[in-house]
Amino acid sequence: MIGRLNHVAIAVPNLDAAIATYRNALGATVSKPQAEPDHGVTVVFVELPNTKIELLEPLGEGSPIQAFLDKNPSGGMHHVCYEVDDIIGARDRLTAEGARVLGSGEPKIGAHGKPVLFLHPKDLCGTLVELEQA
Ligand code: CO
Alpha-helical runs (H) found in 51-134: 66-71, 87-96
**Which residues are marked as active site?**
130
- Band of the pLDDT at 102, cuts 50, 70, 90? very high
Compute, in angstroms, the gap from residue 53 CA to the centroid of ligand 1.
9
Q: Does the pLDDT value for residue 110 go beyond 90?
A: no
pLDDT of residue 50: 96
- Report the DSSP beta bridge partners of residue 130: 81, 118
pLDDT of residue 111: 81
Burial 68-81 (b: 16+ CB within 10 A, else e): bbeeeeebeebbbb
Compute, in angstroms, the gap from residue 79 CA to the centroid of ligand 1.
7
CATH superfamily for 2-133 is 2,3-Dihydroxybiphenyl 1,2-Dioxygenase, domain 1 (3.10.180.10)
Q: How far apart are CA 54 and CA 30, in angstroms?
A: 10
**Coil/strand/helix, residue 114:** coil
Condensed to tens digits (0 to 9), the pLDDT of residues 24-61 reads 999 999 999 999 998 899 999 999 999 999 999 999 99
Q: How high does pLDDT run on average in the chain?
A: 96
